Structure 1
Amino acid sequence: MLRIQSIGYSVEGRPLFEEASATIPTGHKVGLVGPNGAGKTTLFRIIRGELTLDTGTIEMPIRARIGGVSQEVPSSEVSILDTVLAADEERAALMAEAETAEGHRMAEVQTRLADIDAWSAEARAATILRGLGFEPEEHANPCSAYSGGWRMRVALAGVLFAQPDLLLLDEPTNYLDLEGALWLESYLAKYPHTVIVISHDRGLLNRAVGSILHLEDRKLAYYGTPYDGFVKLRAEKRAQQAATAKKQQDRRDHLQSFVDRFRAKASKAKQAQARLKMIERMDMVTAPEEAAKRVFTFPQPDELSPPIINIDGGATGYDGKAVLHRLNLRIDQDDRIALLGKNGQGKSTLSKLLADRLPLLEGHMNRSSKLRIGYFAQHQVDELHLDETPLQHLQRERPDTPPAKLRARLAGFGLQAAQADTEVARLSGGQKARLSLLLATLDAPHILILDEPTNHLDIESREALMEALTAYNGAVILVSHDMHLLSMVADRLWLVSNGTVKPYEDDLDAYRALLLSRDAPAKPAKPVEKPKRPSRDRILELRAEVRKCEGRVEKLEEMREKLAKKLADPALYEDGRANELATWNKKYAEVMDGLHKAEGLWMAAQEHLDKAETA
C-alpha cells in the first residue's frame, strides 16, 4: 500500500500541501484530480523521491518499483520493439547475463527468467505497441523514424511492459488518439498492480479507475468511487459543509446580538461575557468557496443556405499523392460530426481539406460563397508568438478595435486581465489552448473544425467547451480522444479508414466495443456452417441471458463500491489490523476479478443477442 501521512511541501514560500494524508490500498486504480496548479505533478515527483518533503512521510513497501513516463524516448536508431523490451531492466540484465553465466548461476538465471515469463516478452511488448497504434510491420522501425508524440507512445509502452508495482501516469491520453485512449482504459482496468493516473479525461476516470484521490486546498481526500460518483459525493459533502457553516454563523450572530445588546447593562454583563467566551470557543466551519466558472463564448454566425460544403468524387492528399479518395460528403450548418478512425488513416487530412488548407486533387467541391471557417489543430498552440501577450495577438488580428473590447473578448474565453497582459510563454497549456480557440472563432465561423481541442484543458474547461459547442449555431467537425465530449456534442459519426470516409451508422459505445474486441485474443477457427435464422424462443432466451449478466455486473459493482469504502477507512490501516486489512484486500481482488469476468460474459451475451436479432 501507499501511505501519505501529514505531508507538507512549499514552492518559493507558497504551500502546495499542508497536513495532507491519504492511503492507497495495494492493487487499486486511482484517478488523481484537482485544479490546475494544485500540485498533482509535484505529488508524483515527491512519491518518486525527486523532491524532499518539508514535513510528513510517504511510506510504501520496501523494494517497490515505481514507474512512469517522465520524458520522451530519445531519437535513437534502436527499434521501438527493442526499446520497449529494454524498459524491463531486470529481464534485460538477466538476458545479458544468460549469455555468459555458468553452472549454478546459469540455473538461477534461467529459473528467474521463467518466473518473469521472459520468453513471452516480445509477444507482450508487441501487443502493447499495437494497442497504442503501432502496426506489427512498424515494430522494427528505429525510434528516430517517429515524431515526439509517437516516441511518447513508445515511452508509455515501455513502462506498461515493465509493469512497476506503482504505476504513475501524468495525462497519458494527451498524445493518444481515441483508439489508443480506449485501449489504454481497458489495459489499466486490468493492470495487475497499483495505478495512480492524473487525467482530465472523464471517460478514463469512470472506466479505468475505481477510486478518486482529490487534491484541493492543499489537502488530499480519497473517494472509493469512479469520477461520476466522486462528483456526486463531493457535491453532497459541500452542501453539508455549507449548511453547517450557515447554522454556525446563525448561532454566532445570535450570540453576538445578545452581547451587543446587554454588554453595557450591569445585570446582564456576566451573561454577555459568557456568550462572548462561547463565540471565541466556537470551531467555525468555513463555507466552501464556489469554483470560478470556466467559460467559452463563441460568436454566432449568420445563417447560410444548405449545404455549406458539398464534395462529389473527391480526393486529397500531399504533394499530388492522394491519401483520401472517393469522397462524397455533404455538410450543413447544423451538423455536429465526429471523425473516427485510427491514427494515420486521414482524420487530420480531411480536416485540412475542409479547412481549405489542402487542395482537392480530384472531383468537385462546392463551398458557400460567404462561408467562414474556423480551424483549431494541436500544433497551433505551439505556433503562438511566445514573446507576445494574448492582447497583442488580438491587436494584430483587429488593429482598429479598442483594447477594452479586445479584453472583453479575452475574458469571454476565461483569460482575465492578468493573463491578457502576460507573455504567452508564461501561460499554462490550458490558457494557450483558450487563446488558440479564441483566434479560431474570432470571425464567427459558419463551420468550426477542431482537431484534439481538449489536450491542455482541465475537466471544468472541457465541460465549458461542451456547453459552448452545444450553444453554437455553426457546423462542428470534431476529432478528439475525449469520448465524453464526442458523445455530448456529436450527432453524426464519420469513419475514416481504408483511404475513404463513410458514415458510421452505430453509436460510440458500439465503436468502443468494436475496437476492444479487435484486441481480444483470437479464438480457434471453426468450420463454416450455413447460418440458421434463430427462433423467437432463442431470442427471448438470449435476452434473458443478457438481463441476467447485467444483474450480475450490477451486484458485483455494488459489492466493489462497499469494499472500496471499507478500504478507504483510515482506521483499517492502524497498527495491529494487518490481518484484517489483508482479508479485505483479498476480498476486493476477488470481487474485481469476478467483475471483469462478468463484464466479459455480459458483452459476449449482448453480442450473441445482436447477431440473433439481425440474422
Structure 2
Amino acid sequence: MAACGDILRSEFPTIDDDMYHYVESILSGGAEDFEDSNELYEAIGEFLHQVAEEKTELDIRNICDRLLDIMKPGSKSLLNNRTAKVLNAPVHLASMAANLENNVDDIKSIWVMQRDDTLKVDPRKLEKAEAKLQQKQEKRSQDSGKAPPIVPKLESATASQVMNKKETKMEAKGTNRSQDIRIENFDVAYGDRVLLQGADLILAFGRRYGLVGRNGLGKTTLLRMISNGQLRIPSHISVLHVEQEVIGDDTPALESVLQCDSIRENLLAREKEISAQINSGSNDPELNTQLAEVYAELQNIESDKAPARASIILAGLGFSADRQLRPTKEFSGGWRMRLALARALFSRPDLLLLDEPTNMLDIKAIIWLENYLQNWPTTLLVVSHDRNFLDTVPTDILHLHSQRIDPYKGNYENFEKIKTEKLKNQQREYEAQQQHRAHVQEFIDRFRYNANRASSVQSKIKMLEKLPELKSVEKEVEVVLKFPEAENLSPPIIQLNEVTFSYSSDNFIFSNVNLGATLDSRICIVGDNGAGKTTLLKIIMGLLSPTTGMRHVHRNLKFGYFSQHHVDQLDMGVSSVELLQSSYPGKPIEEYRRQLGSFGISGDMALQTVDSLSGGQKSRVAFARMCMGNPNFLILDEPTNHLDIETIEALGKAITKFTGGVVLVSHDERLIRMVCKELWVCGSGKVQSIEGGFDEYRQIVEKELEAQVK
C-alpha cells in the first residue's frame, strides 16, 4: 500500500488528507475487490478527476492501471483494447464467449459489469471529502471573481444486480448454454426514484410474457436495460428490442427485412464473389468446391424461402405488394415502426422485447400479429396495455408493482382472477392475525400484574414476538377521469350529406358519405391505416372542407379534439399547471389544479415539468387541457396509445357518463366494446355504418386475413 500511496502523492500533489485517506481506504480493501482496472476506475476515478481537473480520462485510467499492477501483479489492463459496441441488430455472442480468456474485453464492452456488493464505502469519509472539495472549489471561484458554474443534474436510469456465482463461472468458461434467463435480486432507479428493489425476473425459453403495471412504474425502462446490457443476461442469447423506427434510405422495404438475416446475406455475397471470379475465366478448381459449399449452406438455411416469409410478415402488418417494393425513405414514421417490427419478427432473436407493439397498428394488423405471435418459437417479453392482446398472446403475466415483479401463469384474464383472490386471502389472513393479536394482548394486559399468571403472560408475550408481521393489502388508487358537463343542444347536431373528399383530382379518399351524429352518439370509426379515418374527423370538425357535398353542424356546438399526436405537441419544459395557464389564461390557480385533478394529475405531479411525466400522465394532461374549453362534442383520435389498462377502463367509464356526443377512432377492442353504440367503417373509398357492430367487423377482417394467407 505504501507504493500506491507514493503514486497518489506524486500524481496528485494537491490532494488533501481527507481525500487521500478516503481513496487509500478503498485500495486497502485488497486486489480481490477488483476484477480489472475498469472496476478500479469505477471506484475511485470520479474522485481523482475532482482532485486534478487538468488530467484527462486517459490519464486517470493509466494511473488506475499502475495501481492495479501494484496490488495485483500481472493483471491485464483493459484500457488499450476498449472498444464501443453498438447493438442495433440481433447478435449472437456464443462465438465471442467460447474463449473468454482471449476476448474478455469484447464481452465487457457490451455488458455493463457490476461491482461486488461486498465493496462498500465509508459514507462519513466520503461526505467529509466531498465537503472539503466543495469548499476548495468555492474558494477558487471567489478568488477568480466568478460564480461557481452550475452543473445541471441529469437524471438517468441506473441498475445494480447480484450475479449468480455458478452462472458467472460457467459464463467465464464459455460453458453456459441455458436458453432460460434469470435476472435475480436487481434494483432499478431513475434519478432519486427507486423503480425496482430486490426484484427477480425469470424468463423460461419459449414462453410469452406480458409485462403489465401502472404508467410510470418503469416497464419501458426495464426493457431498455435488458436490451442495452445494464441488466446482464447470458452472452449467447441474442436480444432485439423494437424501439426505434427504421432509418429511411433507398432500400426497398422487402429488402430491408431480408437484410436482417446476416448469415444469408454473407452467403449470397460470397456466392456472387465466387461466381464473378469463375465468369472472369479463373481456372482455380477450389472455386467450384467453395461455390458448391455455399449452395449447400444456402439450401440448409432455406434461403429460397426467405423472401416469401418476409413478404408474409410485411403483408400481415399492412404492406401491400406495391408498398413492399417502395424505398424505406418514402414511409412515414408510423410505417417505419411497422417495418422495424417486421424486421424483428423475421430475425427471430432468442429474446424479443416489444413495447406497445399495437400502438402503430390498425385492427386488421393487430389481429394478424396476435395470431402470428401465438406460434412464436423463442422467448417474448411484451409491454402492452391492449387488454384483448394480453388475453390472446401471453402464456404468463408479469405484474410490476410496489417495486417488485410478481409472476402469474396464464393470460391477463386469468391474472386478474388469481390476483383478486390472492389479495382477498392476504387481507383475510391479516385480519385474522390482527384479531388473534388483539385477543392475546387483551390476556396480557388483563393478567400482566397477576403473580399466578406470570408464566402464562410471559409465554404469550414471546408468542406475539414470534408471530410473522403481516401487512394490510395496499389497494392501488383507482383511476378516475371526469369529463365536464356538456351544454344540452337540440338536434340536428352534425350531418354529412353526399360528402366526397379528395386531396387531388385523382386521389379520392371517400365519396357519397351520408352520416349524422347527436349528443347521445357514441360512434367508433375503424378501418385500415390510410383509409381516411383522421380525414373524416377533420371534415366533421370543419378543419377540412368537403370536395363536394354539405356539412351541417349546430351553431353552438363546441368540439374537444384529442389528436393521436396531441401528447407530442405539449410544451415539455413547463409544468402541467403552467401549460393550462398558457392555453387558458386569467383563471385562478386553483381552477387549473382542480381541472388536472379530475384527470389524476394532482399534488406535486401537477408542478413537475411535463417532460418528467410518463406517457400516460402526459395523455391525462392533454385530456385536461382539451376539456378546459367545456366542449359538448368530443373527437378522440387514438386516445389510448399511452394509457395503462386501468386508465383505459376509466376513459371508457368517463365516455359513457359524458353528457355530450363522442366520435372515437381507436384500435383498442375492449374500449370499443365498452362505449360503442355505432360503428363506422372506412375503406374502399366509402364510409358506412355496420349494424352488427364490432363482432361483424372482426368477422370481416378475419375472412380477409384468411383469403390473404391462401
Asked if TM exceeds 0.5, the reply is yes
Matching residue of 1:481: 667
Tell me which residue corresponds to 1:10. 188
Match status 1:356 vs 2:542: yes
Give 1:7-406 correspondences, 5 Å limit: 7-11=185-189, 12=191, 14-21=193-200, 23-48=202-227, 50-52=229-231, 58=233, 63-100=236-273, 102-318=287-503, 322-406=508-592
Moved more, 294-303 or 514-523: 514-523
Preserved CA contact (<8 Å) 1:315 1:361: yes
Shift of 1:117: 2.1
| CA distance, structure 2, for counterparts of residue 92 and residue 157 of structure 1 | 17
Specify the alignment match of 1:472 in structure 2.
658
Distance 1:310 1:436 in 2: 28
Write out per-residue CA displacement over residues 323-354 of structure 1, whole angstroms, 9 at most, x where no aligned residue.
33212111111111111111001000001111
Give, in angstroms, the shift of residue 161 of structure 1: 1.0
Q: CA separation in 2, counterparts of 1:211 and 1:112?
A: 37
Cα contact 2:215–2:643 (8 A) shared by 1: no
The letter of the residue matching 1:479 is: V
- Matched position secondary structure for 1:215: strand
Alpha-carbon distance in 1 for matches of 2:661, 2:546: 21
* Structure 1 residue 439, shift from structure 2 partner: 2.0
State whether residues 307 and 333 of structure 1, in contact with CA within 8 Å, keep that contact through their aligned partners in structure 2: no
What is the aligned partner in structure 1 of residue 57 from structure 2? none
Distance 2:618 2:228 in 1: 31
CA distance in 1, matches of 2:288, 2:446: 95
| Counterpart AA for 2:420 | A
Q: In structure 1, what is the Cα distance between the partners aligned to 2:523 and 2:605?
A: 33
- CA offset digits 1:464-498 (Å, max 9, x no partner): 10110111122111111111111111111111112
Q: SS of the residue aligned with 2:566?
A: helix
> Kindly tell me: are residues 394 and 232 of structure 1, through their superposed partners in 2, closer, same or farther at Cα, counting changes over 3 Å?
same
Q: Please list every run of 5 or more consecutive structure 2 residues that lacks an aligned counterpart in the other structure.
A: 1-178, 275-286
- Cα deviation, 1:579-605, whole Å, max 9, x if unaligned, reads xxxxxxxxxxxxxxxxxxxxxxxxxxx
Pair 1:523–1:324, CA change in 2 (3 A): closer
1:412 equivalent to 2:598? Answer: yes
- TM-score w.r.t. structure 1 length? 0.79
Q: CA deviation at 1:238?
A: 0.6
Gap change, CA 1:341 and 1:52, over 3 Å in 2: closer
Q: 1:454 to 1:75 in 2, by over 3 A?
A: same
Counterpart contact for 1:390–1:423, Cα < 8 Å: yes
Percent of aligned pairs sharing the same letter = 38
The amino acid that maps onto 2:462 is: K
Moved more, 379-388 or 291-300: 379-388
Taking the aligned partners of 1:237 and 1:374, their CA distance within structure 2 comes to: 41
Q: TM-score, normalization: structure 2?
A: 0.69
CA distance in 1, matches of 2:294, 2:218: 42
Q: What is the aligned-residue RMSD (CA, Å)?
A: 2.3
Distance 2:256 2:396 in 1: 32
Deviations 1:375-419 (A, max 9, x none): 111112111122222212222344333211221111000001212
Tell me which residue corresponds to 1:542.
none
SS in 2 for 1:360: coil
Instruction: Measure, in 2, the Cα distance between the counterparts of 1:46 and 1:2.
Output: 18
- For the residue of structure 1 that corresponds to 2:453, the secondary structure is helix
Q: Would you say 1:427 and 2:613 are equivalent positions?
A: yes
- One-letter code aligned to 1:356: G
Q: Is the 8 A contact 1:338 1:490 kept in 2?
A: yes
In structure 2, distance between residues paired with 1:356 and 1:247: 63
Structure 1's 522 and 461: CA in aligned 2 closer, same or farther, altered over 3 A?
A: closer
Give the superposition deviation at 1:149.
1.8
Instruction: Report the structure number with the largest CA radius of gyration.
Output: 2
Residues 226 and 363 from structure 1, CA distance in 2 versus in 1: closer, same or farther, beyond 3 angstroms? same
Counterparts in 2 of 1:144 and 1:265: CA distance versus 1, 3 Å:
same
| Equivalent residue number for residue 531 of structure 1 | none
- Give 1:8 shift: 1.4
Partner of residue 452, structure 1: 638
Secondary structure of residue in 2 paired with 1:379: coil
Which residue matches 2:134?
none
> 1:91: Cα distance to partner?
2.0
Q: Identify the range of structure 1 (17-26 vs 203-212) with the bigger mean alpha-carbon deviation.
A: 17-26
Task: Flag the structure with more relative contact order, 1 or 2, with Cα contacts below 8 A and sequence separation at least 6.
Answer: 1
Contact 2:187 2:199 in 1 (8 A): no
CA distance in 1, matches of 2:384, 2:459: 52
**Which deviates more, 432-441 or 103-112?**
103-112
Q: Distance in 2 between matches of 1:256 and 1:421?
A: 46
Amino acid at match of 2:271: A
* Correspondence for 1:570: none
Deviations 1:225-281 (A, max 9, x none): 111111011000010011111111221222223333333443333332322222221
Aligned residues: 518
Extract unaligned runs of 5+ from structure 1: 525-615
When residues 93 and 467 of structure 1 are mapped into structure 2, their CA distance, relative to the original with a 3 A threshold, is same
Matched residue SS, 2:706: coil
SS at match of 2:273: coil
Amino acid at match of 2:186: G
- Structure 1 residues 221 and 427, CA gap change in structure 2 (3 angstroms): closer
Change in Cα spacing, 1:103 to 1:272, as seen in structure 2 (3 Å) is: farther
Match of 1:462 among 643, 648, 660: 648
Deviation at 1:23, TM superposition (A): 4.1
Partners of 2:501 and 2:509 within 8 A in 1: yes
Q: Which amino acid aligns with 2:269?
A: A
464-473 vs 14-23, which moves further: 14-23
Contact 2:537 2:635 in 1 (8 A): yes
Task: Report the secondary structure of 1:337's partner residue.
Answer: strand
1:10 is aligned with what amino acid? V
Q: Secondary structure at the match of 1:400?
A: coil
CA drift of 1:183 comes to 1.7
Q: Secondary structure at the match of 1:510?
A: helix
Of 291-300 and 416-425, more deviation after overlay is shown by 416-425
Contact 2:227 2:241 in 1 (8 A): no
